[in-house]
């Protein structure tokens, strides 16, 4: 094929233009040779050798390698490549760097299991520099720390000043202060602050009066961001920085621009938005430092006060100062935290809420569960929820899990801290970046249950659609549950073509009574390696408990306060995660969702 195409090219160019021909051959030949060589080497590694250095993904342009496809068609390029390499990790050459993509299934499980041999240093450095605008002097604070993220420093780093162990110290504080009593406090404040926002917002008219909102997602983004930031960073934040929410979401929209390292002159608006967010957080940080020293002895046992917000923020400020960060450095760290705390859970909440609004049956069933989770401690009702009850409801939990599966394009990245690391027999060089994106496991059609196959051969609940019951096992239905069950399904499918069994009628109209018996299957052995929106191993997302509670409270709060009707249900039904943002975390919808909304009588 290659010779032929060269020949036809020669014919095309013709004998007269010997020079052009030489130039063309000079360009084409290396391109073709590069492609053949990388293709052969990939083929050999993945089909013949099956261990050693991971195969490269073939490319034709030596300088560019996989860069453009990876940067501008990440989802398409990676899913095509994954189909080809299956469970074999592959090497991508992106820019000047090698990336090792670790496929879902056993590969990613091995990556999560070997926490002790792996760190996140390079990816954190990259995120701080490219996403959160950290300057080189502060990035150097991270660079100097090679002691790992466990309590016990890695070999050779035993004598490092403990105050400068930024990876470990941050890891420790996050896990300690996003759990237990601290978590309960954050959540209780979130619930109250969120309800206060919903009741006070002027975007919705007075009781009984329908108002049109141009976009439900924009409304939710602002409401949840305000409540979460009040709860975590304190009441003073929005007095100091009234535009923070607007600027933050603009910053969030430009995430890929920063990650692609677009120069400032090419994307002035993107960088201006980030500058505004950084300036706001700096203002907050300076104000807090001047108003209330973070190590004030009277604060020691205090979980929350309005200046710093939660104890976590005080602990972090102190930790950043003793590690040697500048004020700007600590502000970039805060931006990273604010992004982690809002950038994923809020889009995930949208999908949960939308699924309820799109289906009347679901609304009824969800309302039945919610009715058991309201706390009306006084006449006014202070906006609290019984969070533990919310989190224990099967259908709500199933909706929460499906919203993560549906939209999470989160990346977990690790690098070996020493030479000689192998991932299932494949060599991974020291300090090289291994990565895996949760989306592909969550959309693997061979793994997940997609419901019944209709007479037209179409699956009832394909993986690009939201199915509230996907994660639920109903005891009376052996075909239910998240994992595809080939045997039962095919028996069932052949059955339906003749006479549908009584089971089907039951499925079509499940109600609250069925949901009570359902068992959500969200983690454990069954889904390992296919469902990891929060990453895994010891560096799993420390905010995952907060995220689940926040999502459910946010959905419950909207339903308790408002009646909501989608203005264009047909379009809303077509809404899908916005692939333009792939893979910068959980993905919001690819269109606006106009609604009509009215306060409920209280
Ligand atoms: C649906 C919501 C969320 C998703 C899908 C999510 C996902 C993730 C993922 C994939 C990671 C990297 C883990 C790894 O590499 O294995 C991470 C880290 C992190 N997440 Fe979340 N997250 C969510 C919500 C939250 C919330 C609500 C917080 C609250 C504060 C939070 C705070 C963090 C922090 C601070 C890190 C960095 C941890 C570190 O440096 O070790 N996340 N998250
Ligand atoms: C936010 O919650 C805190 C703690 O419950 C409360 O003191 C504060 O008044 C709330 N603010 C708003 C605006 O809801
Ligand atoms: C919703 O309920 C109606 C009537 O109660 C029923 O006909 C329909 O099949 C149900 N749909 C689903 C998806 O359960």
293 CA from centroid of ligand 2 (Å) = 22
pLDDT at 503: 47
pLDDT at 15: 45
> What's the per-residue H, E or C state across 211-244?
EEECCHHHHHHHHHHHHHHHHHHCCHHHHHCCCH
Residue 455, SS3? coil
Number of neighbouring beta carbons within 10 Å of residue 230: 23
Condensed to tens digits (0 to 9), the pLDDT of residues 476-527 reads 899 999 999 865 555 555 444 444 444 444 456 788 888 989 999 987 788 9
- Indicate which ligand has the atom closest to the C-alpha of 507: 3
Tokens matching residue 180: 């237990």
Nearest atom in ligand 2 to the alpha carbon of residue 226 is 13
Ligand 3 contact via 505 beta carbon (within 6 Å): no
Condensed to tens digits (0 to 9), the pLDDT of residues 90-103 reads 999 988 889 999 99
Residue 31 lies in a domain: no
528 CA from centroid of ligand 1 (Å) = 18
Q: How far apart are CA 54 and CA 326, in angstroms?
A: 40
Runs of H (alpha helix) within 235-359: 236-240, 244-253, 255-259, 268-291, 311-323, 327-342, 345-358
Identify the segments of the chain with pLDDT beneath 70. 1-25, 376-383, 486-508
Residue 582 lies in a domain: yes
| Ligand 3 atom 6: residue of nearest CA | 509
Number of neighbouring beta carbons within 10 Å of residue 185: 16
Residue 390 lies in a domain: yes
Nearest atom in ligand 3 to the alpha carbon of residue 510 is 14
Q: How far apart are CA 237 and CA 244, in angstroms?
A: 9
543 CA from centroid of ligand 1 (Å) = 5
> How many independent structural domains does the chain possess?
1
Ligand 3 contact via 509 beta carbon (within 6 Å): yes
Ligand 3 contact via 1 beta carbon (within 6 Å): no
pLDDT at 398: 97
CB 106 within 8 A of CB 441: no
Question: Distance from CA of residue 325 to its chain's centroid?
Answer: 27
578 CA from centroid of ligand 3 (Å) = 29
* Closest to 345 in 3D by CA, of 214, 518, 189, 227: 227
Tokens matching residue 387: 């969070």
Residue 113 lies in a domain: no
Ligand 2 contact via 201 beta carbon (within 6 Å): no
415 CA from centroid of ligand 1 (Å) = 18
Q: How far apart are CA 184 and CA 195, in angstroms?
A: 17
335 CA from centroid of ligand 1 (Å) = 13
- Best of 193, 199, 311, 383 for a ligand 2 pocket test (most atoms within 8 Å of beta carbon): 193
CB 362 within 8 A of CB 398: no
Residues that constitute the known binding site for heme: 541
Q: Which long-range contacts (CB under 8 A, 24 or more apart) does 94-101 make?
A: 94/65, 94/66, 94/67, 94/70, 95/67, 97/433, 98/429, 98/432, 98/433, 99/70, 99/432, 99/433, 99/434, 99/435, 100/54, 100/428, 100/432, 100/433, 100/434, 100/435, 101/434, 101/435, 101/436
* Closest to 60 in 3D by CA, of 100, 28, 82: 28
Number of neighbouring beta carbons within 10 Å of residue 5: 11
Residue 68 lies in a domain: no
Number of neighbouring beta carbons within 10 Å of residue 183: 17
| Ligand 2 atom 8: residue of nearest CA | 193
Residue 242 lies in a domain: yes
| Ligand 3 atom 8: residue of nearest CA | 509
- Give the residue carrying structure tokens 């700096």: 282
Q: 383: which residues sit within 8 A by CB, 6+ positions away?
A: 191, 192, 194, 195, 196, 199, 557
CATH number assigned to the domain comprising residue 431: 1.10.630.10
192 CA from centroid of ligand 2 (Å) = 6
Q: 205: which residues sit within 8 A by CB, 6+ positions away?
A: 211, 598, 599
| Ligand 3 atom 7: residue of nearest CA | 509
Ligand 1 contact via 346 beta carbon (within 6 Å): no
pLDDT at 19: 57
Q: 238: which residues sit within 8 A by CB, 6+ positions away?
A: 226, 229, 230, 244, 245
**pTM (whole model) above 0.95:** no
Nearest atom in ligand 3 to the alpha carbon of residue 508 is 14
Q: How far apart are CA 117 and CA 522, in angstroms?
A: 27
- The CA–CA distances, whole Å, from 304 to 122, 184, 290 equal 33, 12, 17
Residue 36 lies in a domain: no
H or E element in which residue 520 lies: strand 519-520
| Ligand 1 atom 42: residue of nearest CA | 543
* Closest to 532 in 3D by CA, of 437, 449, 413: 437
Instruction: Report, in this order, helix, strand and coil percent for the chain, each rounded to 5.
Output: 55, 10, 35
| Ligand 2 atom 12: residue of nearest CA | 193
**Residues of the domain holding 576:** 162-205+212-443+530-599
Residue 365 lies in a domain: yes
- Indicate which ligand has the atom closest to the C-alpha of 182: 1
- Indicate which ligand has the atom closest to the C-alpha of 200: 2
Ligand 2 contact via 192 beta carbon (within 6 Å): yes
pLDDT at 496: 47
293 CA from centroid of ligand 3 (Å) = 59
pLDDT at 506: 47
Total residue length of the chain:
602
Q: How far apart are CA 317 and CA 558, in angstroms?
A: 34
* Closest to 466 in 3D by CA, of 398, 524, 547: 398
Q: How far apart are CA 85 and CA 55, in angstroms?
A: 9
| Ligand 1 atom 32: residue of nearest CA | 543
pLDDT at 500: 44
Nearest atom in ligand 1 to the alpha carbon of residue 228 is 27
pLDDT at 452: 87
């Amino acid at each position: 094929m290659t010779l032929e195409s060269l020949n036809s090219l020669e014919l095309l160019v013709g004998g007269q233009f010997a020079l052009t021909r030489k130039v063309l051959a000079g360009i084409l030949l290396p391109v073709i040779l590069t492609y053949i060589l990388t293709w052969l080497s990939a083929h050999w590694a993945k089909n013949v050798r099956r261990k050693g250095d991971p195969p490269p993904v073939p490319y034709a342009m030596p300088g560019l390698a996989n860069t453009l496809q990876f940067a501008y068609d990440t989802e398409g390029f990676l899913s095509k490549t994954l189909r080809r390499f299956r469970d074999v990790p592959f090497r991508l050459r992106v820019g000047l760097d090698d990336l090792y993509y670790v496929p879902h299934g056993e590969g990613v499980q091995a990556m999560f299991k070997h926490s002790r041999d792996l760190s996140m240093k390079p990816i954190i450095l990259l995120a701080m520099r490219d996403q959160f605008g950290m300057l080189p002097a502060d990035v150097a604070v991270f660079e100097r720390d090679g002691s790992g993220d466990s309590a016990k420093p890695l070999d050779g780093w035993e004598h490092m000043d403990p105050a400068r162990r930024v990876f470990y110290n941050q890891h420790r504080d996050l896990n300690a202060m996003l759990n237990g009593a601290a978590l309960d406090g954050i959540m209780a404040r979130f619930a109250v602050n969120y309800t206060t926002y919903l009741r006070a917002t002027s975007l919705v008219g007075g009781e009984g009066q329908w108002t049109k909102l141009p976009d439900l997602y924009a409304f939710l983004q602002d409401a949840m961001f305000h409540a979460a930031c009040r709860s975590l960073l304190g009441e003073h934040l929005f007095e100091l920085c009234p535009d923070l929410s607007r600027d933050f979401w603009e910053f969030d929209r430009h995430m890929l621009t920063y990650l692609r390292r677009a120069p400032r002159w090419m994307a002035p608006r993107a960088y201006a938005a980030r500058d505004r967010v950084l300036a706001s957080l700096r203002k907050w940080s300076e104000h807090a430092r001047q108003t209330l020293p973070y190590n004030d002895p009277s604060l020691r046992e205090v979980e929350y006060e309005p200046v710093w917000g939660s104890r976590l923020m005080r602990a972090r400020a102190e930790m950043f100062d003793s590690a040697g960060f500048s004020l700007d450095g600590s502000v970039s760290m805060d931006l990273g935290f604010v992004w982690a705390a809002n950038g994923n859970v809020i889009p995930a909440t949208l999908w949960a809420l939308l699924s309820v609004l799109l289906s009347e049956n679901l609304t009824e069933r969800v309302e039945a569960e919610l009715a058991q989770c309201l706390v009306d401690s006084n006449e006014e009702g202070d906006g609290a929820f019984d969070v533990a009850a919310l989190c224990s409801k099967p259908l709500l939990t199933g909706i929460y899990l499906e919203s993560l599966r549906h939209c999470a394009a989160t990346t977990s990245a690790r690098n070996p801290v020493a030479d000689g690391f192998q991932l299932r027999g494949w060599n991974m060089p020291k300090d090289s970046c291994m990565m895996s994106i949760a989306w592909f496991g969550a959309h693997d059609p061979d793994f997940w249950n997609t419901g019944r196959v209709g007479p037209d051969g179409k699956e009832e609940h394909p993986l690009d659609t939201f199915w509230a019951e996907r994660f639920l096992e109903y005891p009376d239905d052996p075909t239910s549950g998240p994992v595809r069950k080939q045997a039962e399904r095919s028996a069932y499918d052949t059955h339906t073509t003749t006479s549908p069994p009584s089971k089907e009628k039951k499925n079509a109209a499940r109600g609250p009574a069925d949901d009570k018996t359902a068992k959500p299957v969200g983690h454990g052995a069954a889904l390992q390696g296919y469902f990891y929106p929060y990453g895994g191993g010891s560096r799993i997302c420390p905010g995952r408990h907060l995220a689940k509670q926040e999502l459910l409270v946010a959905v419950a709060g909207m339903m308790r306060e408002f009646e909501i009707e989608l203005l264009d249900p047909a379009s809303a039904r077509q809404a899908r995660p916005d692939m333009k943002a792939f893979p910068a975390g959980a993905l919001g919808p690819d269109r606006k969702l106009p609604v009509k909304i009215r306060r409920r009588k209280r």
